[in-house]
Amino acid sequence: MSKFIDTIKHAIIEDDDDPKASQSGQTTPQSNTSKAAPVTQAPMVSVSSSTSYQALDEETDHVYKRILAKTDFESTPVAATIHKYLDPLSAIPSMDERTKFKTAVVQAHAQEGLTQEKILATFDGLKVALQNEKESFGSAAGATKQREVADRQQKVQEVTDAIAAKQREISDLQQRLSQMSTELIEAQGKIQRAESQFDIAAQRRALEIDQEKAKYVSLLQG
């Protein structure tokens, strides 16, 4: 298709007034040629789509083909009209591609009113269709992003916040545990000191009682 579009661009936009080209359109009367729309006003446009973007991966190429299917010049009524008059000229090997195209366009203009403006307007329409596809995809991508990304981000944030809350709760419990452990150790120390003090005091008192008893035993026996 790109070769055909290149031919259209060069034949419509760049007319070099080649005498041989004008003479090769033998299937078209001169009177019809004079009725064709002027084709020498627009500037030259270079089309290099056939050589660019050749390194597309498989998925990207699939997307490209879907877009192409909706913006394909070959699928337009204008292209069908051109081919109606262009395809029969393929049987003339002596006629170059550009001359064949110009001849077909002249015939299409004479028979069906096809003009340069209609041909180029078709490409403008394809650009509009492409823009519509971009906008449609943008809307769909935005909805998908909201559903598949934003909603999940919100859920992830909710879980993250819950984890942070649990971590703060755990931190508070750890501080409380540390404080309780300190209080436990202090209580155990107090009890151990009290028990030790009581044992020492009780032993001392037991010894004093034994000594006092012995004193009275000695007094009673004397």
Using 50, 70 and 90 to split pLDDT, how confident is the model at 145?
Answer: confident
At residue 79, the pLDDT reads 93
Q: Domain-by-domain residue ranges, the chain?
A: 2-114
pLDDT of residue 81: 94
Which pLDDT belongs to residue 215?
Answer: 87
- pLDDT computed for residue 8 by the predictor: 58
Q: Look at the pTM and tell me if it is higher than 0.85.
A: no
Report how far residue 109's alpha carbon sits from residue 35's, in angstroms, rounded to the nearest whole number.
8
pLDDT band at 77 (very low <50, low <70, confident <90, very high): very high
pLDDT at position 172: 95
Q: How confident is the model at residue 153 (pLDDT cuts 50, 70, 90)?
A: confident
Angstrom distance (rounded) from CA 70 to CA 130: 8
Cα 85 to chain centroid distance, Å, stands at 44
What does the pLDDT look like over 78-129, one tens digit per residue? 999 999 999 999 888 888 999 999 999 999 999 999 999 999 999 999 999 9
What average pLDDT does range 48-74 have in this prediction?
76
Mean model confidence pLDDT for the chain: 80
Residue 41 has pLDDT above 60, yes or no: no
CA distance 64 to 44: 26
Residues 65, 67, 73, 77, CA torsion sign? positive
Consecutive H or E run containing 193: helix 151-221
The full length of the chain comes to 222
Q: What single letter denotes the amino acid at residue 215?
A: K
* Residue 18: predicted pLDDT: 46
pLDDT (0 to 100) of residue 210:
93
Query: What is the predicted pLDDT for the residue at 119?
Result: 93
Q: Which two tokens stand for residue 186?
A: 């202090």
- How far apart are the C-alpha atoms of 118 and 124, rounded to whole Å? 10
As a whole number, mean pLDDT of residues 193-214 equals: 94
